[in-house]
Amino acid sequence: MSAKKLLALTAVVALLFGFIFLFERRMPTTEDRTRKGDLYWDIPEGEVERIELTRSGETLEFQRAGDAGWKMIKPEKYPADPFAVGSVLSELAEFKRAGGEDADDARAADYGLDKPAARATIVWGDPAEPKSRKTRTIEFGAAIPGTDVVAARVVGTQKVLFVPAAVLASLSKSADDFESREVFGGAPADLTRLEILRGRGRLVFARRQVAWWLVEPMSDLADTAEVDRLAASLLRLRVKDFVHGSQDLAAISLSPALFRVSITGAKGAVTAVDFGATRSDGNTIYVRRDGQVSTIDRDILDELSKEAEAFRGRALLGFNRSDATGIDAAFGKTRIVLEQKDGGWSSGGRPVLAAAADDALGALLDLKSKDFADEAAVTTLEPATAIVTVRMKSGDPWTLSLHPEAGGMIGRVSARPGGFLVDRDAAEKLEAAFRKAVAEATPVKKPEDGKR
């Protein structure tokens, strides 16, 4: 092959490679074409900031609210249903042709566009121009007989478009269909604070690391499982019916409310809901959020009526065992010390099996109260038969003392009020767990003679 032919073939290959790299690789695949169909436009959904729908003289407006999703602005301010708004958003951002040719010179009246059945406006931003906003408004006219399409037109143009009738059906839903049915919303793992105001009393919980604590009416360790259950019950609440029009809030016990529940969720966002009287049906109660009155099942009232005692932690200690760095335990004249360093436990310089140390921590966490004793009842206690201090990676240590008492034993815990009635043999079982842990410690090998 001559040098000229070789050079020509090289040039052809280079041009082909350039075409593939610059053009063909950017062309939509068969899957993309099937998914998108015959699009009029394709606006990135994530960049749409506002949607406005007008139909039968009523206007609905939705505003993107960051991580909180979408919020209804008109006809009233209320969290929007993410699925209902998301469906409209997808249909307007990926605006598709339903079939047939567009009519360039059509009369608006012939297609019902002189008096549109609905109008939709979307506003979006352009990352390349952060300060600019783009707007597109579509009007929807009459249904085309014998088809499942309707006529439409982009405001500012004359061309009549034919789009799926399902788009108009989505836009025509009632305002209630666009309002969120979640009373609170959010995820249980995001909750950091829960407040229940009832009359002049308050019940307040705050999450500290892995555990819930009572903040009001007392400062004490809460039963984390019980508070989680209460929080889950609140997050599961769903609206039965939205109540529109002027309401006598005092007559339905919403001003003042019987209960006001505030939940602090992700990034410190607070959601407050008022709970009122039972409706005439006897099965639902009135609630109000963001000024919107609705009804929900009344079963939640039993949970909101519980006193603080029902949520106090029965477990004496509430630390995370993986955060423990050391334990100092005294049983009479016997002292046992466990140290955690570099992921391993030791006692007196001897390595302790991880399972044995974990059993000792488990024995502490398994201590349960059979009953609570108030502060006055524990002012004069017998000397402690066991005192255990657990040091933590961060925060104050936990200190437990067990005192003999007629018919049983009283436990006292740092940072917790009052005392706790526990089994009479609680100190003995605890000592046995710690003795077992150090008994299984690996003896330190002495160097053999002649080896240093």
Q: Round to whole Å and give the CA distance between 402 and 361.
A: 16
Please check whether the two domains, 26-178 and 188-311, share a CATH topology: yes
3-class DSSP assignment, residue 111: helix
State yes or no: pLDDT of 1 exceeds 80.
Answer: no
Banded model confidence at residue 104, pLDDT cuts 50, 70, 90? low
Domain 26-178: CATH class, spelled out: mainly beta
User: What pLDDT was estimated at residue 407?
Assistant: 76
User: What pLDDT was estimated at residue 25?
Assistant: 40
Dihedral sign for Cα 431, 432, 437, 439, please: positive
Q: What percent of the chain has pLDDT over 90?
A: 56
DSSP one-letter string for 302-371? HHHT--GGGGB-SBS----GGGEEEEEEEETTEEEEEEEETTEEEETTEEE-HHHHHHHHHHHHT-B-SE
Banded model confidence at residue 300, pLDDT cuts 50, 70, 90? very high
DSSP one-letter string for 176-206? HHHB--BSS-S-GGG--EEEEEETTEEEEEE
Tens-digit pLDDT profile for residues 239-296: 999 998 888 999 999 999 999 999 998 788 899 999 999 999 889 999 999 989 999 9
Per-residue CA distances from 183 to 44, 80, 169, 285, 384 (Å):
30, 11, 26, 13, 50
**Under 8 Å CB-to-CB from 350, ≥6 apart: which residues?**
438, 441, 442, 443, 444
User: What pLDDT was estimated at residue 10?
Assistant: 65
State yes or no: pLDDT of 368 exceeds 90.
Answer: yes
**Under 8 Å CB-to-CB from 123, ≥6 apart: which residues?**
48, 49, 50, 51, 133, 134, 135
Q: Average pLDDT in the 169-194 region?
A: 91
State yes or no: pLDDT of 161 exceeds 80.
Answer: yes
Domain 188-311: CATH class, spelled out: mainly beta
State yes or no: pLDDT of 121 exceeds 90.
Answer: yes
Residue in this structure with the two tokens 């809030």, named with its chain if needed = 249
Q: Where are the domains of the chain?
A: 26-178, 188-311, 321-439
State yes or no: pLDDT of 390 exceeds 70.
Answer: yes
Let me know: does 427 contact 385? Beta carbons within 8 Å.
yes
State yes or no: pLDDT of 26 exceeds 50.
Answer: no
Tens-digit pLDDT profile for residues 44-54: 888 999 999 99
User: What pLDDT was estimated at residue 449?
Assistant: 54
Mean pLDDT of the chain: 86
Q: Round to whole Å and give the CA distance between 341 and 326.
A: 9
Tens-digit pLDDT profile for residues 342-355: 888 999 888 988 89
Q: Using the CB atoms, write b or e for 118-137: b if 16+ within 10 Å.
A: bbbbbbbbeeeeeeeeeebe
Question: Taking Cα atoms as reference points, which of 79, 78, 73 lies closest to residue 50?
Answer: 73
